[in-house]
Structure formats: C-alpha cells, structure tokens
Chain A
Amino acid sequence: MEIKLKLNGKAVAGSVEADTPLIDFLRQKGCYSVKCGCDTSNCGLCTVFLDDVPVLSCSVLAARADGHAVTTLEGLQEEAADFVGFIADQGADQCGFCNPGFVMNTIALLRENPDPTDDEIRAYLAGNLCRCSGYEGQLRGIRAYLDSRKGKGAQNGN
C-alpha cells in the first residue's frame, strides 16, 4: 500500500506492506539514527515523535503513520545539540548505541517539563535502557545542562 507522511518537515511517500513497522520505513528513507534494540517494545532505542508525541517506532505500523508527521533525530539536530555535549562531558555513553533513543526522549521530556527534578527525569527516561552504563552519567549530563541553562537565565536577569 502507498503511504504519505511528513518526515522531519518534508513530505515523503512510499510503498509498504500492511505489516511493515514504522522503523523499517524510516530507515529506508535514510533515517539511520532510528535503531532496533529489542524489537519487543522494551528498550526505547527506536523512539521517534509521531505528531510530536514520543513513541516506539518498532511497535507502530508504517500504515498507521499515513497522513501524520514523524520526526527523528535527523530532524532535531539543533534542539539536540543544546544538551548532548553535556552528556558527553559526563562520559555517560560507553558504546553509545542507546544514545539516539535517550536524546529523543530527553527532548520530549524537556518540551513537556522544562525544569524537571531528578526523579522526574528518572521516571521519564525509565523506558530507555542502556546495557553499558548505570544511568547516572546521563542524569548528571541532563542536570548539568539544566543548571547551565538556569545560570544563563540568571545572567540574563530571568
């Protein structure tokens, strides 16, 4: 079947099977940041935004995305650039495989809740699994980013 959707702001079309998962369609369209970590809806690595809501692209049919807007990390480079450096500074990643899912879901968190507590960060990112780290590095990185943003806000008199 033919589907049409908005991918990272651009109209795209393609032919898919009734059971093609969204992740396969997105990778066919060159969005290689979207990866499959578990294929059982458990790891969060395949996170994309469907109409601005973070979802697991391994678990959504490409057919369901027909007529909707999908955003991947490729379309959010500027928003991600703000804080990925802080995560890297903490040495949070080891192999880095989980990173795209973490970054996508952190963007979703900060859009929904711009000033989260540590517990709110933990709760929001609980569905992003990392096989290498103990999650503390990612938490410290996000905290450092939020603190620096507050520092800048204070300097600007906000």
Chain B
Amino acid sequence: MMTIQNYVRPQTLEQAYELLSKNRRNRAVAGMLWLRLTGGSIQTAVDLCDLGLDTMEETDDAFVIGAMTPLRKLELAPGFAAYTGGAAARALGDIVGVQFRNLATVGGSVFGRFGFSDVLTLLLALDTEVELYGAGRMPLAEFAELPQTTRDLLVRIYVKKTPGNVAYRAVRIARTDFPVLTCAASRLDGKVRLCVGARPGKAMVLDLTEAAAGGLTPDTVKSLAEEAAKQILTGSNSRGSAAYRSHLVRVLAERTLSQVGGFGNGD
C-alpha cells in the first residue's frame, strides 16, 4: 500500500534531483507500477513525466533511451528490433500486458535492478551504459551492483550498436506471470556473454569469450551450457526449485548460444 502526501512534476532535471536529495521519503515516480506495491509512505512523489525523457533516439553508434520511455515503445522500436534480431520483443512481450507496458518504463526497470527482470537480463547482455544525473555515465553491469538510493536520478540508457547478435529466452509458468528463469546470450565484437536472471536473484553475467575462443560449435555450446548450469547460482521460490532452475539454465543457455552461433533458432 502506498500513500503520498504531495505530488510534484518538476520541469527540469535539476529540480527533480533537488527534490529527491531533500528527503529520503521523497521518491521518483516513473510508471509507478512497482512503486505502488512497495513504495510505502511517500512524502513527495516526484513525477518525472514532464522532463522529456520518454523518447528514444537512434544515433550512428547507439540507441539513446530516455529513462521514462515505456517498455512498449522499446518493444516496438524498429531499429532496436532489427539490432537485437527480435530479442527485444521476446524479452518484453510477456511482461503482463500491453496496457502495463505502456506505463512501465525502461528507467524504472533498470533502476529497480529486480531479480526477475527480463529487461535487465536483456540489457546486461548488450553493451549498455546508464547516465545518472550529476554522476555521468557508467556501464550497466557496474550500476547493477550498486546499492539503491532514493537520491540517484537515472536519466538515460545507452545501448551501443556493437556489431554482433543476441538471443533471448525465458520460461514462465503462464504467459504474463513473472519468469521462472530469464536468459540472454550475445556475441558482440567477438565477446561472448551469457546472462541469466530470475535465478531468482538478480541477473548474473558469465564472460564466455575465452571458453568460446575456438568458435561456437554445437559441441562447444553443449559444454558451455553444462558449465553455465554449474556456475550460475540458483535458488528456490514459489515458481520453481533451485534444481529445476539449474536444469533450465542448461537448456536455455544451449538454445540461446546455439542461436548466437548461427545454428539454432533458439527453440
């Protein structure tokens, strides 16, 4: 249950940042979907909707995604769909429903660093950086490890157009439910990465570049997937046991790495 004393729509990033720095019970409001379930007692809701951050731009070398960009906009962006070879739609398309994804934002998803996040799993497999007001840019992998503070203001997300390919798969008990396991594999500029989320902990990234130095062949992929199932730590919750999740790590790693290797369709 969330209660709010005051509601403000700052018109500049500076105003938003000042409000967030003033009081720990002041909170940034993005899509509000997570906040409304977990926000508790909020002194001032700092709605980021007037800051012009709900747009996405494609430059020669990156996708520049405003923090308030709805997930649905990212899912439908033709350039991003082409760059990810459809992995974006796979990662985003089962998050609750269209109406939900019109509200939920990329910034809220990244800032939340949720264990179950399809969004974080996909973005960690890409060359992604985040821009924080005042603190500038840093790799998403670094940001994901930082503790959450209510003062940080996430402004933009940058996905660099590093040449290569990416594949995404998740397992859900029912479409629109939280995932049981999420998995993204990528080979970008020769760097091979496997990213597994909903373990149920936050997504873990394995750098497989050295292990895959001889190329991604069916045999290599099989052994990489077996190794990943040993290295990725899994746990149990109401959606699945640790043993089941480790089994899924092997299966999804094999499928996504095969697709990245160019000899599977990911299914």
- Using a CB–CB cutoff of 8 Å, the interface residues on chain A facing chain B are 1, 17-19, 40-42, 44, 47, 53-56, 59-61, 63-64, 105, 108-109, 123-128
Contact = CB atoms under 8 A, between A and B. Distances in A.
Interface in B116-148: none
Interface size class of B (residues with CB under 8 A): 20 to 34
B230 interface: no
B219 to A, nearest CB: 35
A158 B147 CA distance: 60
Interface in B14-43: 29, 31-33, 36-37, 42
B37 A40 contact: yes
A76 to B, nearest CB: 15
Contacts of B3: 19
Nearest to A47: B99
Given A18-B45, A126-B175, A126-B176, A55 B96 contact: no
B96 A64 contact: no
A87 to B, nearest CB: 18
A154 B5 CA distance: 58
A56 B175 CA distance: 18
A117 to B, nearest CB: 14
Max count, chain A CB within 10 A of own CB: residue among B2, B5, B96, B99: B99
A151 B128 CA distance: 49
Contact of B96 (A19, A61, A105, A127): A127
A42 B97 CA distance: 8
B6 interface: yes
A138 B45 CA distance: 39
Contacts of A19: 2-4, 7, 42, 45
B100 interface: yes
Contacts of B37: 40-41
| Closest 5 A/B residue pairs (Cβ) | A127-B97, A19-B4, A18-B7, A18-B4, A63-B7
A127 B99 contact: yes
A126 B32 CA distance: 21
Given A18-B5, A55-B99, A56-B99, 19 more contacts: A18-B4, A19-B42, A19-B45, A40-B37, A41-B37, A42-B96, A44-B99, A54-B102, A59-B31, A61-B7, A61-B29, A63-B47, A64-B47, A108-B99, A109-B98, A124-B98, A125-B97, A126-B98, A128-B97
A126 B174 CA distance: 10
A135 B176 CA distance: 15
A55 B102 CA distance: 6
B36 A59 contact: yes
Given A53-B102, A61-B29, A64-B49, A18 B6 contact: yes
Contacts of A125: 97
Contacts of A127: 96-100, 176
B117 to A, nearest CB: 16
A147 B174 CA distance: 29
Contact of A41 (B5, B7, B47, B100): B100
